[in-house]
Structure 1
Amino acid sequence: MTLNNPGDRYNPIADYSSLIRIAAPQLPDALRRFALPVPPGRRARWVLTLVDIAFTDYYPANKDQGIDLGLRLSFASILLDFVERELNVHDPVVISREYIRFARLAVDEGARDVPASFRIDAVAARLLGCFPCAREQALRAAVVRRDRYREALNAGLQQGEEFDRAVSFEGGAEFLAVTVLVAELPWFRGKITDRDIAREAEAWLDIAPELGLGDDVEELLAVRRRRSGGGL
C-alpha cells in the first residue's frame, strides 16, 4: 500500500486502484490512511470521487483482472458508509442519490451479489427517510410556492435576484428537497417488496402532481420566456 506524497495533489484514480483491492474488513482503516494527504474540507469529495469511479465502467482500473461489478458494488457500499459515519456530509439527499444510482446499476446489470445497502427495499427506505417534512406540510408549501410565483410573475418581475427574493419562503429549502426526492420515486414502483415501504412511496407519488407550480403559473412562465426571447 502506497500513500500519495502529502506534498502532491491527491490522485483519486491511483487511490482507487490501490484501495479497491483491499479486503473489506481492512478498508475503513486504509481509507483513513489514504485520506491523510487530502485537505479535510475535500475528504468527502475525494471519497465521492472514488464512488463515482466505482460506478463508471469505462475507467481502466475497472477493466483490470479481478475487478468485477460485484467487487465495485461492495467497495462503493463501504465508501458510502465511511462518508456517512466519519465525514461531515450535511446533505443526506446527496448520499441517498448515490445509493439510488448503485441500486439501479445493480438491477440494470443483473448483479447477483448485491450489498444489503444497495438492495431496492433498503434504498427506498433510506430515500423515504430523507423527506424533511410530512406530506401535509409539503402540500401546504406547494400552495405557498405557487402563490409566490403567481404574484411575482403578475408583477412583471424578471428572472434574477429580485424574482428569487419574491418567490422565496420559509421552508423553501425543505420543499425543494421534497421535489428532488419525489422525482426519484417512480423508478421504485413495482420493485419494492416490503408492503409498508411500498405504501409510503405510493402515498408520496399520489401527491406528486400537486407539488408542481400548476398550469396557470407554468403558462405565466412560458409567456415570460417568449417575451424575453423576442416573441410575444
Structure 2
Amino acid sequence: MMNLNSPSDRYNPIADYRSLIRIEPQQLPEALRRLAPPVPPGRRARWVLTLVDIAFTDYYPANKEQGIDLELRLAFASSLLDFVEQELDVHDPVTITREYIKFARLVVQKGAREAPASFQVDAVAARLLDGIPCTREQALRAAGVRRGRYRRALEAGLSQGQEFDRAVSFEGGAELLAVIVLLAELPWFQEKVTAGDLAREVRAWLDIAPQLELGDDVEELLANRRRRRAGGL
C-alpha cells in the first residue's frame, strides 16, 4: 500500500485506487489532497476521473479483490465526483454530468441494492437539466442562428478549416452545443424518472430537441460538400 502521507511521485492510478477505495469516506478528501500528483488542478481532475473510471469498470482486477463490491465502488465514485466538484477547477461541467449519467445507468443495469443518492435516476436527471445552460427559448433562437450561419458558409463554398469555423461561430454557440450533448442523454431517463415535475421537464426538452439540429437542408449541403471532396471536385 502506498504511503498516503506524501504526494505520489509516479502515475499509477491502479495502485492509487487500491489504496484510496478502502479509506473511510470522511477521510477521503484529505487523502486525495495528499496523494494527488503535484500538477495543475485541471490535471488533478483528470487523475481523479481516472479513478472514477476504474470504479465504473468491472474488469479491473482491483475490483475483484476481497471486500471491493459494487456498492463500495459506487460510494467511492460518488465521493470522488463530489471532491472534483468542490475542490478542483473543472471548466467543462458537462463532463462531470456525463459521469453521473453513466453511473445512474450502471445502477439500473446492475440492479444495485444500495446506491448513493447522487446516482439515483431522479437526482441525475435533475442534475442534467440543471446543467443545461439556457432556456428552451434561448436554445431555439441559438439553433436558428447556427443553421443560418452554416447555410451561408456552405453556400459560399467555404472549405472546412479555420475560415469555415470562424464563419459558423457565434455568441452562444458553445452553450447550444452543450445543450445538444446533454439532450442526447435524456431519452434514457424519459420512462424512468418518477417525480411528476421532473418528467414534464424531461418531455418538454425532448419535444424541442429535433429543432436544435442543423436541419435536413443544411445536412444535405454538408453531404454535398463531402461528396465533392471525395470526388476531388
The question of a shared fold, defined as TM-score above 0.5 by the shorter chain, is answered with yes
Counterpart of 1:160, as a letter, is G
Going from structure 1 to structure 2, the CA distance change for 1:89 and 1:125 (only over 3 Å counts) comes to same
Identity of aligned residues (%): 76
Q: Tell me if the contact between 2:104 and 2:121 (Cα under 8 Å) persists in the aligned partners.
A: yes
What is the CA–CA distance in structure 1 between the aligned matches of 2:44 and 2:161, rounded to whole Å?
34
Residue 190 of structure 1 aligns with which residue?
191
SS in 2 for 1:133: coil
Counterpart of 2:86, as a letter, is R
Matched, 1:178 2:184: no
Q: Tell me if the contact between 1:121 and 1:192 (Cα under 8 Å) persists in the aligned partners.
A: yes
Q: Tell me if the contact between 1:10 and 1:38 (Cα under 8 Å) persists in the aligned partners.
A: no
TM-score, normalization by structure 2: 0.95
Residue 109 of structure 1 aligns with which residue?
110
Going from structure 1 to structure 2, the CA distance change for 1:34 and 1:226 (only over 3 Å counts) comes to same
Shift of the alpha carbon at 1:230? 0.8
What is the CA–CA distance in structure 2 between the aligned matches of 1:196 and 1:27, rounded to whole Å?
35
Going from structure 1 to structure 2, the CA distance change for 1:7 and 1:122 (only over 3 Å counts) comes to closer
Residue 33 of structure 1 aligns with which residue?
34
Shift of the alpha carbon at 1:7? 7.5
Residue 95 of structure 1 aligns with which residue?
96
Residue 128 of structure 1 aligns with which residue?
129
What is the CA–CA distance in structure 1 between the aligned matches of 2:195 and 2:168, rounded to whole Å?
39
Q: Deviations over 1:105-126 (max 9, x none)?
A: 1111111101000000000000
Shift of the alpha carbon at 1:188? 0.3
Residue 226 of structure 1 aligns with which residue?
227
Structure 1 gap segments, 5+ residues each: none
Going from structure 1 to structure 2, the CA distance change for 1:7 and 1:69 (only over 3 Å counts) comes to closer
What is the CA–CA distance in structure 1 between the aligned matches of 2:91 and 2:40, rounded to whole Å?
15
Residue 206 of structure 1 aligns with which residue?
207
Q: How many residues align?
A: 231
TM-score, normalization by structure 1: 0.95
Residue 56 of structure 2 aligns with which residue?
55
Structure 2 gap segments, 5+ residues each: none
What is the CA–CA distance in structure 1 between the aligned matches of 2:66 and 2:40, rounded to whole Å?
33
What is the CA–CA distance in structure 1 between the aligned matches of 2:20 and 2:9, rounded to whole Å?
18
Counterpart of 2:190, as a letter, is R
Two-structure CA RMSD over aligned residues (Å)? 1.5
Shift of the alpha carbon at 1:8? 2.8
Going from structure 1 to structure 2, the CA distance change for 1:66 and 1:7 (only over 3 Å counts) comes to closer
Residue 16 of structure 1 aligns with which residue?
17
**Greater CA drift, 24-33 or 93-102:** 24-33
Q: Tell me if the contact between 1:148 and 1:166 (Cα under 8 Å) persists in the aligned partners.
A: yes
Shift of the alpha carbon at 1:3? 2.9
What is the CA–CA distance in structure 1 between the aligned matches of 2:40 and 2:150, rounded to whole Å?
40
Shift of the alpha carbon at 1:87? 0.9
Residue 157 of structure 1 aligns with which residue?
158
What is the CA–CA distance in structure 2 between the aligned matches of 1:63 and 1:7, rounded to whole Å?
24
**Greater CA drift, 171-180 or 222-231:** 222-231
